[in-house]
């Protein structure tokens, strides 16, 4: 069993840490808000800083919202970098900028430690059930060392390439998810406005080529009006912002990604930044002046 540092115990991080604890790993944990008491009761050591976590753990996992948060955790005052010693592995499982990731990895490498970027997909349910998809960038030796931990948090675990490639893969994932949400929203809005029962339309489409997890799960959310996260719109905005910034740097156009981002922006402007990302449909409904509703 490993001594594992875990920083960031929010919606995703808490169940991920719980699964590592259930597997018998010794945890050293820190969160800027508070450490869940069930982890401490299970034997986790609550630390006073990221530096302390890094000094006590052999593998340090970071799971925080965005690029600036990772920067602060790693290199801020009493950050991970201050507590590292040679031979440790830092694993960032947040979803952040690939460009920043490459810089973070280089700085950690100069301290004699390995770095893996390992963002996840699967949401809160996947974190709870340890079925996350984990997309990893970094050296193969470090990947093999950390893989037993990944296997306690996820099912589909892939070493994609070098540092930054894990984050690039996550951005590709988020582009696909956002555009699928938009497509399902448009389809169900069209069906409902035309007078069809959107629930029955969804049921029919689930048996055809249009079937998808987005139609299955988020289509139901749209019909049932259940928009509690899940995965918050503000986090998907962050991911698509990374996609669009990357596209600018690569001198390519992602027109439909930009459209999806504008729809998320409209939701946020109407107080919806904390809605589940399936609520993108609300922006379409506002433009149509018509709301999808579950029929009895």
Clarify whether 102 is annotated catalytic.
no
Query: In which residue are the tokens 């939701």 written?
Result: 267
Taking alpha carbons only, the member of 199, 153, 167, 164 closest to residue 293 is: 199
Query: In which residue are the tokens 């996550």 written?
Result: 170
Q: Rounded to whole angstroms, how far apart are CA atoms 245 and 210?
A: 30
Tokens of 14: 């808490």
Taking alpha carbons only, the member of 228, 235, 227, 229 closest to residue 64 is: 235
**Residues 14, 51, 88, 170: which is the catalytic one?**
170
- Within 10 angstroms of residue 73's Cβ, the number of other Cβ atoms is 28
Tokens of 132: 């996350």
Tokens of 253: 């156009």
3-state secondary structure of 3: strand
Which residues, 6 or more positions from 237, have their beta carbon under 8 angstroms from its beta carbon?
A: 261, 264, 265, 268, 273
Burial of 83-113, coded b for 16+ CB within 10 Å and e otherwise, reads bbeeebbbbbbbbbbbbbbbebbeebeebeb
Q: In the chain, which ranges are E strands?
A: 3-7, 26-30, 45-46, 59-62, 89-92, 114-117, 120-121, 132-137, 154-161
Active site residues: 170
């Amino acid at each position: 069993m490993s001594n594992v540092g875990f920083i960031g115990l929010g919606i995703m991080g808490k169940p991920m840490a719980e699964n590592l604890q259930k597997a018998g790993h010794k945890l050293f944990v820190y969160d800027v808000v508070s450490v869940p008491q069930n982890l401490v009761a299970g034997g986790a050591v609550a630390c006073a800083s990221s530096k302390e976590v890094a000094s006590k753990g052999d593998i340090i996992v970071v799971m925080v919202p965005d690029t600036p948060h990772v920067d602060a955790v790693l290199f801020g005052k009493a950050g991970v970098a201050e507590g590292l010693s040679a031979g440790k592995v830092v694993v960032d499982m947040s979803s952040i900028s690939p460009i920043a990731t490459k810089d973070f990895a280089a700085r950690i490498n100069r301290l004699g430690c390995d770095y893996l970027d390992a963002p996840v997909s699967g949401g809160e349910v996947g974190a709870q059930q340890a079925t996350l998809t984990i997309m990893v960038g970094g050296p193969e030796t470090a990947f093999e060392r950390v893989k037993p931990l990944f296997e306690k948090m996820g099912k589909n675990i892939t070493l994609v390439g070098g540092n930054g490639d894990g984050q690039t893969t996550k951005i590709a994932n988020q582009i696909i998810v956002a555009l699928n949400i938009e497509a399902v929203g448009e389809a169900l809005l069209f069906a409902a406005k035309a007078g069809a029962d959107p629930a029955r339309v969804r049921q029919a489409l689930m048996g055809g080529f249009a079937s998808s997890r987005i139609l299955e799960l988020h289509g139901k959310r749209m019909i049932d009006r259940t928009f509690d996260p899940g995965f918050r719109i503000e986090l998907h905005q962050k991911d698509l912002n990374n996609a669009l910034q990357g596209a600018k740097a690569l001198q390519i156009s992602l027109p439909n990604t930009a459209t999806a981002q504008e729809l998320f922006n409209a939701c946020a402007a109407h107080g919806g930044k904390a809605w589940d990302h399936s609520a993108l449909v609300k922006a379409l409904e506002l433009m149509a002046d018509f709301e999808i509703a579950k029929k009895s």
